[in-house]
Structure 1
Amino acid sequence: MKTAVFTGIRKITLEECKTPTAKGNKVLVKVNSCAICTWEQRVYTGVNKVEFPFIGGHEIAAEIVAMGDDVNRTEWAVGDKVVVGATLQCRNCYYCKTGNSQSCEHFDHSAHLEGLPYRGMGGLSEYLLVSPDCIFKYRNVDPNEACIIEPLSCVIHSVETANVQMGDFVLIIGCGIMGLLHTLLCQKKGATVIVSDVNEERLKLAKKLGASYIVNPMKNNIEEEVKKITGGIKAQVIFDTTPIPIVIQDTFKCVSNVGKIVLYSSIHPAEPVLFDPNWVHGKSIQILGTANSNDRDFMRAAQMVSEGVINLRPFVSEVYPAEKIQDAFESAAKADKFRVVVNF
């Protein structure tokens, strides 16, 4: 089978390796599409440190092609279209056993998955051997869209962490794919969505996707705009989907009393951010973190996409064949697109 392997910074090649065999309680899936996440972009550019050689890819749409003897035939069949996710949780620690596998104590991007020649998440391979615990059925959409179910599942977890309520004012900072997926979900939760970004084209798309208000902080003072829109109370929930440390300071200026700030993105560089603890205490502010997703998030994301509740088509920016994997990563690394998708 073909496998895309990181061999160094800005070096990725397509290698031939042995196709795994399905046995026991494992299924073999053929990967149709794998989207290039920001995490893999950072591996490619050297920001995220891994030990080479490394196999990336975790936004995966696939099809079951073989099943081990112990796989439940009532639930699974050859030909099922599935998304692959939640492969890195140990499913044994305290957090996994209490329904919080997204925060697994042993979560490891560099685990060595069975059937792969090197460490890594493995989605940039023609075939992948997985447990039925880690696959979720989808239907009615193209694999190039279905592979984006994984980031949608992470955003579902984020929105539920914030417990967005009908009638809330929600400020979403950043109009990348994650900010726009937050926009879609919060709008469907009955919130009034305000989106902030410096990219005018992306602001227009946010408006088209359901944002009630858009703000360009390079042209307007974001604090004053949020106060004006909300009648002075500011936003009950703020999602920061950008990696920029200084942007966190803007969230402090725009959050309401008893409001919530969700730090959705990882921060690069990871610099300390100063805040007044008496303000957090006195105004009952909640500062929350969220990362990854769990089985429940994946199931609901797959269902929403399959039934057309969420349309992921606008986020497929480019599609490359696996044979042009280096070109795909060079394009994705420009960071001017939503998702670049690789087809096997």
Structure 2
Amino acid sequence: MKTAVFYDVKNLVVEETPMPEVPKEKILMKIDTCAICTWEQRVYTGVKKVSYPFIGGHEIAGEIVKIGEAVEGDWKQGDKIVFGTNLACGHCYYCRIGEEQNCLNFDHSKQQPGLPYRGMGGLSEYLIVDPSDIFSYQNVAPEEASLTEPLSCVLHSVETAKVDFGDYVLIIGAGIMGMLHLQLAQKRGAIVIVSDPNEKRLELAKSLGATHVINPVKEDLTEKILAYTENLGAQIIFNTTPISGLIPGLLESLSNTGTMILYSSYYPDEPVGLKFDHIHKTGQQIKGTANSNKRDFIRASRLISQGIVDVKPFITKIYPLSQIEPAFEEAVNTESFRIVIDFEQERSEESC
């Protein structure tokens, strides 16, 4: 089978690796598509350090091709599935209480069974998966289904914030994660405002239902937020950007008793100064959220499968596996939403 392997910064090689044997309690998944997450983009550019060789990829969709003899349940060959990456340890306190997204031993470099190198493994044609980590999908193309994982993380974020009917919600950043926050916050009855310096993305946010959009380069963000929120400020702010320096200023746009969610990873993770008496007096909260759990994943799969959340606008381009380096080069272009690797395209060509 073909596998894309990181050997260094901006050094990705598609090579032949052995087809894994299927343990009796596992399932063999044929991967159809793998979207290139920001995490893998940072590996590609060297911002995120990993030990080489490394197999990335975790936003994946495919189908069941073989089922181990000891697997229980109603899974069958040919089922369309998405894979909720099994990077949590499964046995720490947080895993045991259903909060595996905050696992004490969360490991992006976990060794996946049947693969020759460490990593999440989605940039490989086939993957051994545990039945507890897969979820069915229907009605949509695999490239859409592969965005289940990012949607599951956003779902966890929106629920952490406790978005409710009539809330004023400010989303900082109109990338794919900001746009998914927009859709989910709307569906919980929020009045959503999106801020981004990219005018094209603001136009898309408006078309997707944002009540207001703000270009912070051209307009005063705090002034606009107060004008749009009855002079109260946003009750919830989602910072989906990796820019920690924005956080102190954003507190001025947050209402009393409001909540700011730090959704993105921060690279570099530089300290920032906060006025703690301000937080004390206003009752504001700052919360972090990362990853997702099984409960998030199964619901995200349903939302995409049933067309409740439309992810098609966020699929910028689809590349075959043989063009993975050009795909990554486009993925790190800030104009892109998601670039998707299509394994099935070359399989079809080879069978002709």
Tell me if 1:89 matches 2:52.
Answer: no
How many pairs align?
343
Deviation at 1:83, TM superposition (A): 0.5
Q: Report the equivalent of 2:349.
A: none
Alignment of 1:179-190 (within 5 A): 179-190=178-189
* Corresponding letter in the other structure for 1:122: G
Deviates more, 1:53-62 or 1:322-331: 322-331
Deviation at 1:235, TM superposition (A): 0.4
The alignment's TM-score, normalised by the length of structure 2, stands at 0.96
C-alpha separation in 1, matches of 2:126 and 2:212: 44
Q: Report the equivalent of 2:206.
A: 207
Tell me if 1:39 matches 2:51.
Answer: no
Q: Report the equivalent of 1:14.
A: 14
Deviation at 1:335, TM superposition (A): 2.4
* Corresponding letter in the other structure for 1:235: A
Alignment of 1:147-296 (within 5 A): 147-296=146-295
Kindly provide the CA deviation profile for residues 195-245 of structure 1, in whole angstroms up to 9, marking residues without a partner as x.
Answer: 000000000100111110000001110000000001101100000000112
C-alpha separation in 1, matches of 2:253 and 2:304: 32
C-alpha separation in 1, matches of 2:212 and 2:91: 44
Which ranges of 4 or more aligned residues in structure 1 deviate by more than 3 Å?
none
SS at match of 2:265: coil
Kindly provide the CA deviation profile for residues 126-183 of structure 1, in whole angstroms up to 9, marking residues without a partner as x.
Answer: 0000101111100000001110110000000000000001000000000000000000
C-alpha separation in 1, matches of 2:15 and 2:86: 22
Q: Report the equivalent of 2:105.
A: 106
Deviates more, 1:185-194 or 1:272-281: 272-281
SS at match of 1:54: coil
Q: Report the equivalent of 1:2.
A: 2
CA contact (8 A) 1:86 1:295 kept: no
CA contact (8 A) 2:327 2:339 kept: yes
What is the aligned-residue identity percentage? Answer: 54
CA contact (8 A) 2:85 2:120 kept: no
SS at match of 2:277: helix
Deviation at 1:250, TM superposition (A): 2.8
CA contact (8 A) 2:171 2:192 kept: yes
* Corresponding letter in the other structure for 1:193: V
Q: Report the equivalent of 1:333.
A: 332
- Structure 1 residue runs without a partner (length 5+): none
Q: Report the equivalent of 1:314.
A: 313
Deviates more, 1:101-110 or 1:244-253: 244-253
CA contact (8 A) 1:175 1:206 kept: yes
RMSD: 0.8
CA contact (8 A) 1:95 1:105 kept: yes
